[in-house]
Amino acid sequence: MNFDPLFYAVSALGVVLVGFSKAGFGGGIGFLGVLMMSIVATPVQAVAVMLPVLCVLDPMGAWPYRRKWDRHCLIILLIGGTIGTIIGALTFSLLNDSVIRLLVGGLTMLFLIDQWWGQARKAEREKPGDKAGIVLGVLGGFTSFVIHAGAPPTTMYLLPQRLDKSYFVGTIAIYFFALNYMKIAPYAWLGLFNFENLMISLALMPFAPIGIWLGLRFHARISERWFYRVCYIFMFIAGIRLVFDGARGILG
């Protein structure tokens, strides 16, 4: 296993930011780690490396909300998420690096458009019913499996439900805790957990509790608005780069 300082520096920063977000601000940018790794490695390696790290982060993020989650919403999301995970497992091998780069970059840009342009309209959205929730759960499960980017469809279902803030964050935390552990067996079946990827995951794991600790410590000291603004700038730059690289690979 070759040591690439740039890869480890970028990946470690991504892990810290994801942990910081989960502990301090309820997550929402869980695919930032994969996004940053995809700039310095293949997207397939990025998702494989990131899953064990997320499986360390998720129990830490879910534990404070173990009694604060909405049962009905969680069941609807898990039904859809399970179906989406199965679809992701069956189709993952059909996606090459260029397609995944384009998918990651495109979903990133859609996520940012929703965050920047759609904020004022979120409060006006009608509550999605159970069928819509299952469909969004399927989309969330699929994108979570392929690129760990299940947050946008999930929040599209949960935000209009107008849950209490703690229950909103808790439902998301418990959902992704279950979903990420659900992905372990399919990832192993697909051969993503090779020796090199597992060793990289192991090397990055110490940065996970650092991110959690920083998020808890600075929750009340750092403006949530400015934290996400900086992360969204990272996402925008990385998203544009991945769309360009993916399109060039497909057309080229």
58 Cβ neighbours under 8 A, 6+ residues apart: 22, 173, 176, 177, 180, 181
For the stretch 5-42, pLDDT in tens is 888 898 898 888 888 877 666 555 666 777 788 778 88
Q: What is the DSSP letter of 127?
A: P
Give the pLDDT band (50/70/90) at residue 122: low
Phi and psi at residue 205, to the nearest 5°: -60, -35
Q: Supply the pLDDT for residue 76.
A: 97
Alpha carbons 54 and 69: distance in angstroms, whole number: 20
251 CB burial (10 A radius; 0-12, 13-18, 19+): exposed
For the stretch 52-97, pLDDT in tens is 999 988 888 788 888 889 999 999 999 999 999 999 999 998 887 7
What is the pTM for the complete model shown?
0.79
Give me the residue spans of the domains in the chain.
5-251
Alpha carbons 117 and 75: distance in angstroms, whole number: 30
